[in-house]
Structure 1
């Protein structure tokens, strides 16, 4: 995978489904596993794709499940800074500007996390998407 940061693939794939297909086999398999484990309905998934402002708990928990599977989200709802930055540094291929942007986005968006992992994952993902759009970063995967 040669995109800016693998963690963004995970987050954006879940928060911006209508703009990006989940075409990475590992992400897709994990997503499907989480849809099942969180008992998300087809309607929940459609709401994710439609960017519904009123996502069900199950839809938000799918996001949290995937982020936990990739070690981005801890059980306490906090974003794992080291994992996030590891992916950002790997995928930026030495571009200090991209690493700086990833750090800024982490600082902004991790402040939106809460104790509930499902809400935390949703808040973080929504924030990352907004930050990427504000920075004219591509949301496609």
Structure 2
């Protein structure tokens, strides 16, 4: 379990994390893109250190592919918990607050993000293992973004 890495989610952390999964290059200001990259790298660095995850473990994630190791799945759970997508017990949480903020920023993006959230951020993805829950969420988001033709943001 990675309960020891749980931090109370702030609105910005929730926005940043869900953006990792939902963001498109279209319609995002360079400032917001830079902020998201910075926050994601910070959380990723923290989770790598806390979980002793290797760069090889997370390489597929950086290429927007499903994780290949259990450690990488737990890395996703760590980031999800830090940002509030999964609660302290590893269960999926609502993304309503995130969606309302997006709606104010970009109506077109909101519509696409809401579709992905409606499909992916649901209790159906909850499993007994928080790492498997995180993997199920991530895989769903990748599939839905592909169906919608939405590009992933590069963390380079």
Question: What value does the CA root-mean-square deviation take over the aligned residues?
Answer: 3.0
Q: Hey, what does 2:150 align to over in structure 1?
A: 137
| 1:89 pairs with one of 100, 106, 124 | 100
CA shift in 2, pair 1:54/1:102, >3 Å: closer
Q: Could you state the TM-score of these two structures normalised by the residue count of structure 1?
A: 0.72
Q: Hey, what does 1:119 align to over in structure 2?
A: 132
1:140 Cα offset (Å): 2.1
1:47 Cα offset (Å): 3.6
Is the Cα–Cα contact under 8 Å of residues 92 and 125 in structure 2 kept in the other structure? no
CA distance in 1, matches of 2:135, 2:35: 17
**What number of residue pairs does the alignment pair up?**
129
Is the Cα–Cα contact under 8 Å of residues 6 and 88 in structure 1 kept in the other structure? no
Q: Hey, what does 1:60 align to over in structure 2?
A: 73
CA distance in 2, matches of 1:137, 1:101: 9
CA distance in 2, matches of 1:71, 1:53: 21
CA distance in 2, matches of 1:51, 1:36: 21
Runs of 5+ in structure 2 lacking a partner?
A: 1-14, 24-33
1:49 Cα offset (Å): 3.2
**Is structure 2 residue 50 aligned with structure 1 residue 40?**
no
Q: Could you state the TM-score of these two structures normalised by the residue count of structure 2?
A: 0.66
**Is structure 2 residue 84 aligned with structure 1 residue 74?**
no
Q: Which runs of 4+ in 1 moved over 6 A?
A: none
